[in-house]
Structure 1
């Protein structure tokens, strides 16, 4: 599952769980682009549930859209990643340190209220 919800003028919420194939990845990335249209200095709540690694086809779709993903991510200043797996939170924090202008903070699933509060600051 890859669900994208526009949650106000400058925010989107993303829920990811399960396994993504190439079609799921294509649809998800299209939704991210479409629903983030017009956002400036945005906020994103990214909830990552139980998942399997994407298929090779899904990863190929993602790699083929790297320029689109860079344009997408520049629309956001803050991203709260909610995940129970420690390694996912660690990877997210490292990713945040590599993307100029984007601050990523991670939370576990018991800290959703804290994630929401942090996004609103």
Structure 2
């Protein structure tokens, strides 16, 4: 299940729990498209809880929509990831190393408020 969190217009914030569906991926891509159309920099907050997989039926369409984002990588600002799963935090750190020009930070669930504040531009604690 995916839900969006109210944030400033130049940010996208989502909470994902359980299995990620094709509809979830479409909703995120639709929001990304609208946000990139209106802002030069886009900041992202992702919180995962008990993530247990992705619905394969939506993955092909998502991949086709996500590939053009490689041309917009410099337009990503701060990316905060909060996860209750160590594998997700590790995967985010690997992604951060591969994309060093995007400002990533990884947070534990107890640091959720700090992650949201950092993503919105508050000084790092």
**TM, length-normalised to structure 1:** 0.80
Question: In 2, Cα distance between the equivalents of 1:63 and 1:12?
Answer: 19
Give the equivalent residue in structure 2 for 1:17: 17
1:24 CA drift (Å): 3.2
| TM alignment of 1:23-62, pairs within 5 A | 23-62=23-62
| Cα displacement (A) at 1:80 | 0.8
Post-superposition CA distance 1:25-83 (Å, at most 9, x none): 22332223224432223322211112221122122222222333335654322111000
The CA RMSD measured in Å over matched residues stands at 2.3
Q: What stretches of structure 1 of length at least 5 have no aligned partner?
A: none
Aligned to 2:78: 78
Distance verdict in 2 for CA 1:72–1:5, change over 3 Å:
farther
What is the TM-score normalised by the length of structure 2? 0.78
Mapped partners of 1:117, 1:83: distance in 2 = 16
Q: Structure 2: any 5+ residue segments left out of the alignment?
A: none
1:112 aligns with 2:121: no
